[in-house]
Amino acid sequence: MIGKTDYDLIWRNQAELFREGDRETISGNPFVNRQEEQIQPTGIRSILTTKNIYKNNNEKIIGVIGYFTDITGKALVKRSGVFDESKGRIYLDKYFEGTYLTYREAITLYYALLGYPNKKISNTLCVSLKTTEYHKKNIRQKLQVNTNGDMINYAIVTGLATTLFICIEKNIESNI
């Protein structure tokens, strides 16, 4: 929330814990899907938290960007999707009838999960903004979701994000 600090919100008693996570992120250790407990008006909730640094156009750190997904009472799937190294694709689970994410779609989703805006994804991948938007449209269609927020949430809750991070962080770049 722009203009607010953790000390201004309902979880003010946990503010120092959350600010510690911000400091960790700014020092070069962003995180994805860290399970935490958070005090909310409805009680204590289990959440998955993702935080990354936020930079301006000059690459100066100007803050932390993050989001959380409430997973209270939900069983998490450890991993969704299987990487086929010979084809350079991530196949989605059986409910998607053999649908797959191409490497470019997977890497686009990876950077979206890190909180990169479309322009930064485009610059990082050396593609046009329209290409990034096209990949995101294809990903949403394949995951059967309507918005980029739903796309991120789906990837986190199903464990697809875990599969992406394992594959991409091992620098698997076949069939780009």
pLDDT per residue of the chain (176 residues) written in tens, 0 to 9: 677 888 888 778 888 888 888 888 888 888 777 777 777 777 777 777 888 888 888 888 888 888 777 777 665 544 456 666 666 677 776 656 668 888 899 899 999 998 899 999 999 999 999 999 999 999 999 888 899 988 998 888 777 887 787 777 665 444 33
The pLDDT value given to residue 172: 46
The pLDDT value given to residue 86: 64
The pLDDT value given to residue 68: 78
Contacts of 166 (CB under 8 A, 6+ apart): 79, 83
DSSP E strand boundaries for the chain: 31-40, 43-55, 61-70, 82-84, 89-91, 100-101
Domain ranges of the chain: 6-70, 82-169
Topology of the domain covering 6-70? Beta-Lactamase (3.30.450)
Which one of 3.40.50.720, 1.10.238.10, 1.20.1260.10, 1.10.10.10 gives the CATH number of domain 82-169?
Answer: 1.10.10.10
